[in-house]
Amino acid sequence: MKIIDQKGKLFGLINVVDLLIILVILLAGIGVLKYKDIGAFMSKISADASGNVYVTYSISGVKEVSVEGVSSGDIFFDEDSRQIIGEVVDKSATHTQIATTDKDGKFVYSEIPDRFDLLIKIKAKGSWNDLEIIVNNNDIQIGEKQEISSRMSNFSAVIYGIETE
């Protein structure tokens, strides 16, 4: 008995082309399963931890009334998702400065009257791993712009710092 007969069948049972197609499909299936195993393995390596995440927001050029309108204990939420971020645990304000030149042409910083740069530290619930920090089901990163609001205030803020506990 020949291995491949005149009709192209292997051992007289199955066509060689059909067998190659079946093998390609099986190998693709094994590849997908291995890929999913690697994904599960990577997620085990970078297992999520959860707890408090302290997010510091920088808000530039606000008036004094806006600075006074924020106090410890105020609850802020994300304007886009309408979910609560957390409560204010610390705030600080400095006069807004602009880089300019003096009358001699030297580089100096000048204060802008009645404008302040505000830093707000908010305690939020979140999770993190080696790859990302998640607050309200959103990956957050330093430098990211975010619209935040409280009962009294609405700001366009930039994430200035992130700490995990």
Position 18 scores a pLDDT of 82
pTM of the complete model beyond 0.85: no
One-character DSSP codes across 35-85: HHHHHHHHHHHT--EEEEEEEEEEEEEE-HHHHHT--TT-EEEETTT--EE
Q: Give the total residue count for the chain.
A: 165
Residue ranges of the domains in the chain?
Answer: 9-45, 49-164
80 contacts 88 by C-beta, under 8 angstroms? no
Position 42 scores a pLDDT of 58
Position with higher pLDDT, 33 vs 152: 152
Q: Mean pLDDT over all residues of the chain? A: 87
Q: What is the pLDDT of residues 24-65, one digit of tens each?
A: 999 988 888 777 666 665 555 556 788 999 999 999 999 999
Position 68 scores a pLDDT of 93
What does DSSP assign to residue 25? H
